[in-house]
Amino acid sequence: MGNIFMEFFTTRIRVQLSVIKPDSTDAITVHGVKKDNYLLQIMQQARCNQELEFETTSTSWGESVTSINGLRAESSKREYWALLDGTTGNFLPLGVSSYQPSDGEHIVFELRKW
């Protein structure tokens, strides 16, 4: 009973995710996210809701996004998925497996070249 009680009172947040591709932008809002979830867990929740499709690869720094909604970052073309603050446009300080968004935060995934 204690776990059910704790689950009921768990703080929930919403996070907006945008995917900027060369020809379009996709935007979704993920509701009911547990406050302490990492960005990767939020992405997994969006995938379960069939709102987002993505692939990652494991690195020594954590998970790295390699594909979003069917668009793969091609290392031969020097492409990568940048994780940006949707308000400031600045890079997020951590990756998807370490970053914990706050309520109402807007996160942008943008395919870029390095």
Among the four given CATH numbers 3.30.70.890, 2.170.130.30, 3.40.920.10, 2.60.40.1180, the one describing domain 12-113: 2.170.130.30
pLDDT mean for each 10 residues of the chain (114 residues): 55 89 88 91 93 95 94 95 96 96 94 93
DSSP assignment of 30-86 equals EEEEETT--HHHHHHHHHHTTS--EEEEEETTEEEEEEETTEE--GGGTEEEEEEET
Domain boundaries, the chain: 12-113
Q: What's the predicted TM-score (pTM) here?
A: 0.86
Q: Assign 4 to helix, strand or coil.
A: helix
